[in-house]
Amino acid sequence: MVGGRPVSAPPERPAVRVTLGQLVVGADRRANRDVARDVLRRAARVHADLVVLPEYASAYDPHGVGAALAEPLDGPFVTMLREEAARSGAAVLAGTTLPADGDDPRAVNAVVAVDGTGALAGVYRKVHLYDAFGQRESDRLAPGPADADPLVLDVAGLRFGVMTCYDLRFPESARRLVDAGARALVVPAAWADGPLKAMHWRTLAVARAIECTSVVVAVGQAGRGVVGRSLVVGPDGVVGIELDDQPQVRTVDLDVAALDEVREQNPSLANRRYAVVPRP
């Protein structure tokens, strides 16, 4: 699943090179941009095809993210992502916070997709809000529409599907992405710490990989109140990369041929008898 080749040279196709940025994010937006920009430039030096940053990479408050930390798609954070992608040719998936539509005083938890030309390729607005474990994310954030088209991004011949954080607990989210052609699932997160939470994070990422015969690239925030522990899981459930709770940047090569082999040996997707349909 993850190649052992050095990452100083361009990836040997059919590998797809992915850089994971496990960052500490705070409320200082300029500082957050500087940290994210540094990750993107480090990824460019190792010829990454895709860079994944965590949920809320633009700004984060461990007490809760809301409208005060939101900025529009043409704001400084997404503009910086687009400029760096155009400079390096690497696509980017990153969590941010957008203003809600209309008169809604809340914000929107979103993941933006920027392709290797610097174009904004899509936006996923988080469907499953974290109203669990004593938290009420919906007090501050508006949910994305459950029937919106799945966000998928083609990078170097591999289709990545996007969800975020709490969505990982809902296998239907992953299935919708697979039905849209995804063979790798990307999960930017700020996974809240607490009893059993790190275990849940790891277990759910492995489960989504096995049941979808897909690579899972789960990138968490590090720092106060979150678990970090980013990981890359192969379609056979084998964890190839697993970080601790400290900020780190790691680059991996995803072996597309190995992914195809797992799906051939385990055609569970072809054997499915049920479809995923959004609830009204």
Catalytic residues: 55, 126, 165
Alpha-carbon gap, residue 44 to 147, rounded angstroms: 35
Q: What is the per-residue DSSP string for 157-204?
A: TEEEEE--GGGGG-HHHHHHHHHTT-SEEEEEE-PBPSTTHHHHHHHH
Rg (CA), the chain: 17
By CB neighbour count within 10 A (0-12 exposed, 13-18 middle, 19+ buried), where does 95 fall? buried
Cα–Cα dist 45/91, whole Å: 14
% helix / strand / coil in the chain, to the nearest 5? Answer: 25, 25, 45
Residue 153 and residue 115 in contact, taking contact as beta carbons nearer than 8 Å: yes
Is 114:121 a contact under the CB 8 Å cutoff?
yes
